[in-house]
Structure 1
């Protein structure tokens, strides 16, 4: 990749309280690549900090207001898109397809649930991935794991797997193209992505001079995954000072104390629309693990929006060791999620999916009748996504569960 002209590091902008965009650097941090040259990474991040923001403050505030409606049962969120976004023209073509899919599914949900649907794309920044192991064996060679195109390449060679800080710039320019593509497609879909490489996110965090609030302007809704949700760690504390609405994924290892501490850190003032919790338990665990968490958050008075990610807790190794997900497990978890929320007097606020917006064969169910068909059209950079027919089936199951 071509190197930009690197700038001398500028001092941090003044802060209005004890939080600053760089404060995460003093805290423990997990799921990070081993960058070959930290000075080079910081220089790239400094260059990024001088580039235009990707989202507007007023847009972010409007989304926060809409998410407040979802937390009150007056709207519904459909968050969907790629597991890991491609770069360049492939990303803009993918964004067009995702926009069509999210809009179409959202219109169905609006009709069936009799409430407006808020469309959120895993788009314009979904370039970095947490992984269960830092290394993997490829053809007898131990290599760093693929962590998304913000970090390295998926090809199984030592050169491809070496983290490259200049990839942050490629991701920024691709994200800018995706945001423009979504606007040209008619808008109506907000951007969201997992916050993982904090050098990138810090560079795109900007101070609103009018209100004194800091906003992450790489996206509208940043979220932290289940692997990086430590309350004393860097990722959650980075979210804590932002004016954006924020989300956290909560898996089966989360305790009541964990979740209450997350709420206290990210939603200390109990503001509707500020915090979304995304349940990703797995079909076999949700009935036992989710109810005490929901009950504790209700009792503590936090008006969070509860969403279901019924995909990530149901990932298995299929034929030949390829990762897949079974539609019946996804539907089973989603149905239980609705029952648990309703049992605590709450309305489910949303659905979080990984979709291809294309006829891929990465998950089993509907048109993909068994695992032997997975190799027919498996194109994901990382995790398996639903094809169009499977996404329709999940939405059908959600509607049926909501009408019970």
Structure 2
């Protein structure tokens, strides 16, 4: 087992992709030095618990729901926003738990999702060219030279915003807010009051009867009143992730203590690149995105390097093909990886392969395309006799207008009403719950 973490210099020597260009190396070094002294945001034991649950999901004994913002912003790290995100994920999880009849592993894209890869280092508007916005971890969204300058002080801001977010999540999930009956009451209100919710009255009624039965027999376990909730983000910025890597005192093994689970993006999964080299050393459960260009041999090579001992729950492949490509591209990957005996959890990212720009200039996705990719994901696994371990959605608990379609029948013109994402479009509260009920029906058929 590889345990000695390479230095930052060694990682950058591999040609690290998608890193910001800072103009003050001394300020970067000072920020990294400060981060190394900060307390951990999560603990190694919690990461190990999540790893065991991912392993269960890979065997069909649990189901992973990973959701949250495409890119968090510092201004939105408030109690109201955190509560709304948590609430919609808990609501989705109740529906999926009932349909799948297995525990749902709740993983938030929060408390660290502040950096984003970009297709270009620069952005040009009206003849003015500035650095691209790479997330609040790097620079500001406002299109000015001052805002777009990569600022290493923001790495410390990421830490503090993540710490406050995790504190809120822990308070909510253990302080009664996540009570099962309360969450089901929210879903019942959605079914009663939403135009699209009426389609799901039957399943909501079934859940209600199940809860009434458990109450009648006096069943009242702790699990009814609290939930385990885990954090995750794309570990993109090497300075931040390296500084947040610590050796666990119990096992003497290195963990990234900025999140329970971290993943490698589609743009940074080069087998000989810095991110894969870093990830193969840490002991967290890790993910790796696989898009339509990924081959089965590449997947096998990544698995061999990232999980050489084939540890259950260690590695998740997060597929992002697009609705039009998943049924053709996914089977060969799953078939060959499975045939080689590789222990991996398969999770469907139905968002990133379905993004397009509208005629009025908004980046969006069609709800029906997102749903179709999830359906294709289930279809492929059903045909191969393998296990669909979970889904990843980019969503929010707010009533934004960023994705067209769905029961609300949001169109391109409606996007202008409340388009608030600074990077990629998200499912709103109603679309998220509609997605949960529709995926629940898919789970019942598997």
Deviation at 1:135, TM superposition (A): 1.2
Q: Which of 210, 215, 219 matches 2:255?
A: 215
Contact kept, 8 Å, 2:4 with 2:281, in 1: the verdict is no
3-state DSSP class of the match of 2:162? helix
CA-CA distance at 1:18 after TM superposition: 4.9
Aligned twin of 1:36: 23
The match for 1:350 among 390, 395, 401 is 390
Report the alpha carbon displacement of residue 402 of structure 1 after superposing the two structures with TM. 2.5
Equivalences for residues 240-251 of structure 1 within 5 A? 240-251=280-291
Distance (whole Å) between structure 1 residues aligned to residue 75 and residue 36 of structure 2 = 21
Distance 2:409 2:239 in 1: 40
Shift of 1:19: 4.0
Partner Cα separation in structure 2 for residue 200 and residue 288 of structure 1: 37
Taking the aligned partners of 2:291 and 2:343, their CA distance within structure 1 comes to 20
Matched, 1:373 2:414: yes
Q: Which residue of 2 aligns with 1:174?
A: 161
Offset from partner CA, 1:265-301 (integer Å, 9 cap, x none):
1111111100001110001111121111111110111
Distance 1:165 1:379 in 2: 25
In 1, Cα distance between equivalents of 2:291 and 2:7? 27
Equivalent position to 1:261, from 301, 314, 318: 301
Structure 1 residue 87 and structure 2 residue 74: aligned? yes
* Counterpart selection for 1:76 from 53, 57, 63: 63
Residues 361 and 368 of structure 1 are in contact (CA less than 8 Å); yes or no, is this contact kept in structure 2?
A: no
Residue 322 (structure 2) pairs with residue 282 (structure 1) = yes
Taking the aligned partners of 2:341 and 2:401, their CA distance within structure 1 comes to 43
What CA deviation, in whole Å up to 9, does each residue of 1:325-356 have, x standing for no partner?
Answer: 00111111110100111222112111100001
Unaligned runs of 5+ in 1: 1-14
Contact 1:335/1:397 (<8 A) preserved: no
- Indicate the RMSD between aligned Cα atoms, in angstroms: 1.5
- Quick check: which has more Rg, 1 or 2? 2
Unaligned runs of 5+ in 2: 175-227
Task: Find the aligned partners of 1:247 and 1:262 in 2 and give their Cα distance.
Answer: 11
Structure number with higher relative contact order (C-alpha < 8 Å, ≥ 6 residues apart): 2
1:65 aligns with 2:43: no
Q: Deviations over 1:146-195 (max 9, x none)?
A: 10000001111111111000001111101010110011102522000001
Asked whether the 8 Å contact 1:362–1:384 carries over to 2, the reply is yes
Pairing 1:147-186 to 2, within 5 Å after superposition: 147-186=134-173
Q: In structure 2, the residue corresponding to 1:320 is in which secondary structure?
A: coil
1:251-400 matched pairs, under 5 angstroms: 251-366=291-406, 367-400=408-441
Partners of 2:371 and 2:15 lie apart in 1 by 36
Task: Give the TM-score of the pair, scaled to structure 1.
Answer: 0.93
- What is the aligned partner in structure 1 of residue 275 from structure 2? 235
After superposing the two structures, state which structure 1 stretch, 359-368 or 144-153, moved more.
Answer: 359-368
Counterparts of residues 188-227 of structure 1 (less than 5 Å): 188-227=228-267
Q: 1:96 aligns with which of 52, 70, 83?
A: 83
- Distance in 2 (CA, whole Å) between partners of 1:345 and 1:67 is 19
Query: Is the contact made by 2:354 and 2:366 (CA closer than 8 Å) also made in structure 1?
Result: yes
Report what 1:4 is aligned to. none
- 1:17 is displaced (CA, Å) by 4.6
Q: Hey, what's the Cα distance between the residues in 2 that align with 1:161 and 1:190?
A: 31
Contact 1:307 1:348 in 2 (8 A): yes
- Residues 386, 234 of structure 1: alpha-carbon distance in 2 compared, 3 angstrom cutoff: same
> In structure 1, which of residues 126, 135, 138 is the aligned counterpart of residue 125 of structure 2?
138
* More off after superposition, 196-205 vs 362-371: 362-371
CA contact (8 A) 1:267 1:302 kept: no
C-alpha separation in 2, matches of 1:40 and 1:220 = 28
TM-score by length of 2: 0.85
Q: Is the 8 A contact 1:28 1:232 kept in 2?
A: no
Contact 1:308 1:350 survives alignment (8 Å): yes
Change (3 A) 1:359 1:241: same
Kindly indicate which of the two structures has a greater share of residues assigned to helix: 2
Counterparts in 2 of 1:380 and 1:88: CA distance versus 1, 3 Å: closer
Q: Distance in 1 between matches of 2:72 and 2:236?
A: 14
Give aligned pairs, total: 390
Give the whole-Å Cα distance in 1 for the aligned partners of 2:37 and 2:26: 17
* 3-state SS of 2:288 partner: strand
